Amino acid sequence: MNQESDSNDEPAGQDPLLLLKTIQLLWTKKEMKKLKEEIRRGFAGLEDPLAGLLDILESSTDWKGKGHSLGYYITSELQLWMKEHPAVQQSGMKLKKLQTRVLRILAQCPANLLDPLISIYQLHTADRNYLLGHVSHLYHRGDYKEAAILSIKLKLQPDQDVEKMCMPLLFQDKINLMEDYVGEYPELQCKLLQILDTWCEPGFNIRDIARQYQGLSRYKPDKLNRKMLSKLVFRLLDRFNVDPALCPNVINQRHLRTLNYLFYKRFVEKTMTQENWTDHVQSTVGENQWLQGHLIQLLISYCDLNTAARWAQRCNMPKEILPNRVADELQKLKIQESVEEATKAENYEEINKKDYYQLPIPRANIHFLQKWEEMLQCWEKVLQPGQIVAIDMEWRPSFGMVGKPRVSLLQIAVKDEVFLLDLPQLLEQAEMEGEKEKLPHFIQMLYSDAAITKLGYGMSGDLSSLAATCFALKGMDKQSQGVVDLLTVDKQLQKASIDWKKGSRKVEQSYEDKGIRQPEKGLSLLVQHVLGKPLDKTEQLSNWEKRPLREEQIIYAASDAYCLLEIYEKLCKDPASFGLNSDLTKSLVGKPTIKARAKKQLNKQEVPSPCGQQCKGSEKETSCPPAPISAKEFSVVCDNMLQGLGRYLRCLGVDVRMLENEDDHRKAAEIARQEGRVILTSGLPYQTLQSQVGEGRCFSVNCSEKAKEQALQVLKHFNVHVTLEDIFSRCQVCNCNKYLKVPKERMRQLVEGSKHSAGDGGTSCSTPCEEKSSRTCDAAQRTETTQSEWLERTDPCGAAVGLEEGTTLQVAAIPPGVLDKAELTDFYCCTRCGKVFWEGSHFGRVVSQFKDVIVITGDEQSIYKLS
C-alpha cells in the first residue's frame, strides 16, 4: 500500500490508470491534502494530461452520480493546474480527437462536470456542424434532456428547431429546462410562445403531437391539458416580457373566463353595479367577433333576447353571425333607442344603501387631488406626530392578465377628512416638472415615521402594488414603521369570537331572506362585526383608471379608507368586548415582518394565533403557532394543479377533495364553503379564491417545490399533527376511509377466479385496474387505526367481490409474487373504488419522510421502532 502512494521511486502518474488507483485510495481515506498533491503530481508526470483525464473518467464510474464526486474533484483540480501550466493546451488534430472522446462522456456525466469539461477541451471552438450532429444523435436516441442541456452549454440554440427541441421537454415535465433553452434568445422565446398558443386552439389534439416522440418518460397525457398550457403561456409572457398579442388563443380564452366571471358577479352574486359591469364587458370584448359571439350566448342565457339584441347593436355585429332569434329581435329595435335604455330592460334589484356602512363626514371633506399644489394641504395634515392615518389603494381589475396591478388611486384618511390622490396624474406631473421624486418622498416619509400610526387591511399586497406603480417605492415594506394591519386584527377576531362566525352566517341568511346579495367577506365582514353594518363593495371592481371618477366611486373609495379609522377607534376603546387583549395598540403597531420572496404570499395568509396575541422572541416579535389539529380533523380541497400534494396528504390521513383537470378554480371555493374545507392552491388563482372564503381558509403553496415539500409546508403551517394511525388510513385514489379486510388465501381464490372469468370473456372489476406504484399498492396498512373503519365481511363466491355501490375488487392489479410472500396474512381493499392494498416497506419510508410532523404516542412506540 505504501509503495503505491510513494511516487519518488517510480512516478504513479506515468500511467493514468495507476494514478486513478492511488487517488481512489486517498479519496476513500478522506486524505484531501495528500489527494490534491497526488493529482497535481500525477498530471505533471503524464505525457498528455488531457488524454489522461479522459482515460480516468472512462475507466471509472464514481463520477456519474450527483454532487461532488471524485471525478468532479479530479477535473476541477486539473482545470486549476492547467491555469498554472497553459502549455499543456492542445490544438489541431490532436484536440479534435480529444473533443470526440469528451462528447461521448458529456452525454452521461452530471451537470456539474459539463462546464469544466467544455472549458478544458475548448468545445466552443469545435466544428459547429459536428457539435450539432452529436446533439442530433442524442436527440434521435431519445435522450431529449441531455440533448437540450448540451445545446444550452454550447449555445447551439440559434441553429436548431425550437419546436423539435422543446416539445419533448414539455411532455417530460422538464419545463424549467425548456425555459432555459430559450432564455437568452428573444426570437426563440416568441417562437415557443406561438407554438404553445397554437396548442391552445379549441379542438387541437396534443396527444397527436406526443406520438411523434419515442421513448418519452414521465409523460402524463391528462396533466398536459389546455388549462395547464394557458397558465404556462401567461407565466412565460410575464417572464420574457413579450407582447400578449403574440398569443391570441390564450388571450381569448382568458377573456372568455373573464366574461363568465363578470356574469357571475353581476347576475348570481349581484355584487357589481350595471355601470361597472357594462364598462368591464365592453373593454373585455372590444371588437373581437369571437368574444362578441360568446357574449351574445351568455346574454341569452342570463338575460333575454332583447338585451342580447341591444348588445349586438352596441357592438355593431353583422346580422350574419348572429343567432336567428337575436337577428329577428334586432330588426324590431328602434334605431333612436339609446344605449342607456337597455339598462331598464335588465332585471336587477337595487341595493338599499341604508343597509350598509355610511360615511360619517360631509362630501366637502373628501378631496380629490390631481395637482401637486393641492397636495400641500394633505402633507400638512397627515405628517403630524401622533396622527392616526388610514391608507387604502384602488387599481383596475386585471382579471388574471399579465403583469402586476398599478395603483390608480391612493386614499389617505385622517379624522374628519379623506384625501384621494390621483396617483398616475400626480406622478406624470412631477416627472414633467423634473421632480419625479417628490411624491415618492412624501409616501416614504409617511410610512417610515414611527410617530404616525398607519392603518391598512392587507397592507403587504398594497405595498407590493405601490412598488409596481413607482419604482422609487420598491422595498418600502422594509422601511415601514408604526403599521397596524387590520387584516391581522380580523384574523384574531375570527379566532377569538366563535359567536361572530355564527352571527355572520345569520347576517348572510337575513340578506338572502331580503332577496339581495350576501355581504362581502374580508373587510366588509369586519366592518359588519365592529361597526354594525357591512361595507358596500359594489364599486370595488370599477375601472379605476378611467377619468373622471363617478360620484359612486369617490364615495366608495373614501369609505374604504375611513372605515379603518372607525374600526381602530372602537377596538382600542373596548378590545375586551371583541375577545382581544387590552394591549391592542402595543401588540399590533410595529414593523412588518420581512421574509424571503418565496414566502411573500404566506405573509398575507398567516394563521391567526389561538391566544390572540404575539409571542416575544429574543430579537423580534413572532406570531404564536396555530392550535394543533389532528390529521383526521383537517379537511382540504386541492386545486387541480396540486394533485400530487393531495395524494401525499391523503397518505397521511387528511380528508382531501381534488378538483378535476377540467374544473374551474372557483369550484374550490364552492366546495370549501359547503363542506368547511381549507383551499390549497398556487399562483394567480390564490388572489381570486382567498376573497371568496373566510380569512385563513385559503393557502397558497410554493409551486416551485415538489409535492412532498408542499405537504410538509401545509402541515407545518396549519400545525397538523399526524400519528402513525393516520398513515394510509385513507385510500389515495378515492379518499375513502373504509376498508374490507380479506385473508390472503381468500384473496388467492379471488385472483384465480378473476383469471378464469377473464378467460371466459368476463370482467373482473367494474373500475379500471391500476399498476403497482410505491405510493399505493405497496402501502403498509395497519389494522390498529381508529380513523378508518376496517370491515370484515363474508364475501360471496365468484370472480369479483361486490362492494358498496356495485364496486368490485381490483384483484387483477395485484402483481405476481405478492401472494407468495410468507409475511403477508391479509389484504385491505377500499370499499369505494376497490383498490387493493397490502403491508410493505412504504410505511417506513413515509414515516421517515414526514418525521417532523408525526406525533408518536406511547402506544405507538413499538410500531415506530419496527418501521
Q: pLDDT (tens digit, 9 = 90+) per residue, 495-512?
A: 665 444 444 444 444 444
CA 459 and chain centroid, separation? 21
Is residue 67 scored above 70 in pLDDT? no
**Highest mean pLDDT pick, 101-110, 406-415, 535-544:** 406-415
Q: Pick the residue with more confidence: 65 or 263?
A: 263
Closest CA to 250 of 183, 191, 193, 209: 193
Confidence at residue 402, expressed as pLDDT on a 0 to 100 scale: 61
* d(C-alpha 120, C-alpha 118), whole Å: 6
Confidence at residue 364, expressed as pLDDT on a 0 to 100 scale: 94
Render the burial of 376-385: b for 16+ CB within 10 Å, e for the rest: eebeebbeee
Confidence at residue 600, expressed as pLDDT on a 0 to 100 scale: 41
How large is the average pLDDT for residues 104-123? Answer: 87
Domains of the chain: 16-217 (no CATH), 249-332 (no CATH), 356-495+520-585 (3.30.420.10), 629-722 (3.40.50), 735-755+803-866 (no CATH)
* d(C-alpha 748, C-alpha 156), whole Å: 58
Is residue 368 scored above 90 in pLDDT? yes
**pLDDT band, very low/low/confident/very high, at 800 (cuts 50, 70, 90):** very low
Instruction: Give yes or no for a contact between 808 and 754, defined as CB atoms under 8 angstroms apart.
Output: no
Is residue 341 scored above 50 in pLDDT? no
When the pLDDT of each residue in the chain is averaged and rounded to a whole number, the result is 79
Q: 743 φ, ψ to 5°?
A: -60, 155
* d(C-alpha 351, C-alpha 516), whole Å: 7
Q: Is the peptide bond before 548 cis (omega within 30 degrees of 0)?
A: yes
**pLDDT band, very low/low/confident/very high, at 372 (cuts 50, 70, 90):** confident
How large is the average pLDDT for residues 278-298? Answer: 92
Residue ranges with strand state E in 396-465:
407-414, 417-422, 453-456
Is residue 780 scored above 90 in pLDDT? no
Q: Pick the residue with more confidence: 53 or 777?
A: 53
Closest CA to 455 of 399, 497, 393: 393
* d(C-alpha 6, C-alpha 865), whole Å: 49
Which of the 8 DSSP states describes residue 264?
I
Query: Which range (106-110, 131-135, 525-529) has the least confidence?
Result: 106-110
Q: Which residue do the cell numbers 357574449 mark?
A: 295
Count of CB atoms situated within 10 Å of the CB of 333? 14
How large is the average pLDDT for residues 391-396? Answer: 93
Confidence at residue 403, expressed as pLDDT on a 0 to 100 scale: 64
Alpha-carbon separation of residue 583 from 247, 491, 564 (angstroms):
54, 17, 19
Which of the 8 DSSP states describes residue 268?
I
Sign of the Cα pseudo-torsion (557, 561, 567, 573, in order): negative
Instruction: Give yes or no for a contact between 179 and 239, defined as CB atoms under 8 angstroms apart.
Output: yes
Is residue 5 scored above 50 in pLDDT? no
Confidence at residue 133, expressed as pLDDT on a 0 to 100 scale: 93
Is residue 6 scored above 60 in pLDDT? no
Is residue 518 scored above 60 in pLDDT? no
Within 8 A by CB and 6+ apart from 79, the residues are 116, 119, 120
Is residue 301 scored above 80 in pLDDT? yes
Confidence at residue 592, expressed as pLDDT on a 0 to 100 scale: 45
Q: Pick the residue with more confidence: 3 or 699?
A: 699
Count of CB atoms situated within 10 Å of the CB of 676? 10
Is residue 587 scored above 80 in pLDDT? no
* d(C-alpha 186, C-alpha 802), whole Å: 59
Model pLDDT for residues 756-766, shown as the tens digit of each residue: 765 544 333 33
Q: Which grid cell sits at 57?
A: 473518467
Is residue 560 scored above 70 in pLDDT? yes
How large is the average pLDDT for residues 834-859? Answer: 76
Q: 271 φ, ψ to 5°?
A: -115, 20
Is residue 551 scored above 90 in pLDDT? yes
Q: What is the percentage of the chain residues whose pLDDT exceeds 70?
A: 79
Q: Which grid cell sits at 368?
A: 380629490
Closest CA to 247 of 290, 194, 291: 194
Q: What is the reported pTM?
A: 0.53
Instruction: Give yes or no for a contact between 418 and 562, defined as CB atoms under 8 angstroms apart.
Output: yes
Please name the amino acid found at residue 738. Answer: K
* d(C-alpha 147, C-alpha 166), whole Å: 10
* d(C-alpha 22, C-alpha 10), whole Å: 13
Confidence at residue 161, expressed as pLDDT on a 0 to 100 scale: 95
* d(C-alpha 682, C-alpha 679), whole Å: 10
Sign of the Cα pseudo-torsion (352, 356, 360, 362, in order): negative
Query: Which range (745-754, 769-778, 851-860) has the least confidence?
Result: 769-778
Confidence at residue 488, expressed as pLDDT on a 0 to 100 scale: 83
Model pLDDT for residues 28-66, shown as the tens digit of each residue: 888 888 999 999 998 888 889 999 999 988 887 766 555
* d(C-alpha 36, C-alpha 7), whole Å: 14
